[in-house]
Structure 1
Amino acid sequence: MANNAQAEPNDEHLELFETRKILNVKWSNLNNSKFREFCINNAHIQDVSATGVKIIDANLSDLEIEGAQLGGAYIHNIGMPPKGHPAYDPAAKQRPLKFENCDLNGSTITDCDLSNVNISDCNLKGMKINGILVEELLKR
């Protein structure tokens, strides 16, 4: 799928406001489209090019991403809304995330709450925590 930076002059512009639709979209180019304040619960998106897509202020609970290339992805500010945010709830608790069969080689995890994280059956060669090789820590 081509990724055009600008809309072509003869592109059809369609606006949907306050409507309920079920769309079956195939072989379509939706480059530069904008989706705001919309609901796509239980949508199925398959064989898609979505480079440069930004998802901001979204509820992605129970999201499943399979067979995706995420090289260069920047995932940040994930979890429950922080104190001071209008949706902050001091009683709310983040449900756990699950990463399985992922290539995180060379990735960086910074300023994250990893309490009670379970890492099993993983290649830890060269992995460091605060500059200390995990392999060395495990030998102790």
Structure 2
Amino acid sequence: MNSMLGIILLADVLPAQTIPIIGGVGFIVFELIVIVCETLVLWQLEWGTWQRSLLDASLTNMTSGIIGLPLSLINFAALYRILPPAIFFPLWLFLSWALSFLIEGSMLLLLRRKPLRETAFASAVANAASYCVLILLFGVLRLWFSPR
């Protein structure tokens, strides 16, 4: 895994950080993938109608990006210097997922006032699904563009 992979995988928490690497269009594409993925999960969990799930996924991801960016950069800077890459990237990915889960779960709780257990489950599953899709997508892109 290289540092570019770690940065792009955090499109859920760090949309602004992806802009210099993949450009504005790439940022929009990755962010739309995350929002659609999380919308599908929320809708399948009967969070609300398709439109309500889309609105909630959009608002939570916007909030997650704004709040998560500085926190994840601090996390990145602290861990990158003391851990080897084989430990650093999986740990950073997990911590970023956890940060997304907490931020987006809090937003979902404020937006819908559903029970905490239901909200936490929805946030955990939606974020896990979006991270899995991003990991898979970037893995395919990395193979596609890797030197042969």
Question: Which has the greater radius of gyration?
Answer: 1
TM-score per shorter chain, which class?
under 0.3
Greater fraction of residues in helix: 2
* TM-score, normalising length: structure 2: 0.20
